[in-house]
């Protein structure tokens, strides 16, 4: 999980940078994925470095993924509406960035839940 957290962090930093450039550096909000990415990466590095902090760092990263999903879910819905209903989002670049962030958070949540279930099975 720590390696996945670092990789998701890197992808979110790239997403934030690309979104910021794609919006002509007009709005700092385009960098929100990058801010999340820095925290994801930091939690992943903390978990890798300290075995005693691993469990806490990964729980914090999972909470961060839930918050990220909550904040970006609207963009995912907008893109799904575009695909299935043909409804064009008002701010396409923002919707795409949010949708990508939502998918990355969903991937992390699923992997985190699976990891926690596996750890519980190993205990028993």
Is residue 123 pLDDT above 80, yes or no? no
Q: What is the pLDDT of residue 68?
A: 96
Residue 124: band (very low, low, confident or very high) from pLDDT cuts 50, 70, 90: low
Closest CA to 108 of 53, 43, 14: 43
How many Cβ atoms are within 10 Å of 51's Cβ, its own excluded?
Answer: 8
Q: What is the pLDDT of residue 51?
A: 87
**26-79 confidence digits (pLDDT tens):** 888 889 999 999 999 999 999 999 888 999 999 999 999 999 999 999 999 999
């Amino acid at each position: 999980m720590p390696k996945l957290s670092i990789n998701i962090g890197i992808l979110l930093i790239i997403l934030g940078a690309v979104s910021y450039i794609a919006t002509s550096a007009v709005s700092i909000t385009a960098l929100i994925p990058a801010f999340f990415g820095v925290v994801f990466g930091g939690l992943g590095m903390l978990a890798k470095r300290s075995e005693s902090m691993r469990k806490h760092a990964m729980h914090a990263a999972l909470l961060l993924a839930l918050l990220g999903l909550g904040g970006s879910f609207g963009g995912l819905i907008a893109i799904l509406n575009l695909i299935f209903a043909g409804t064009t989002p008002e701010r396409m670049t923002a919707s795409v960035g949010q949708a990508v962030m939502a998918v990355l958070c969903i991937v992390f949540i699923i992997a985190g839940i699976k990891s926690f279930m596996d750890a519980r099975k190993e205990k028993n």
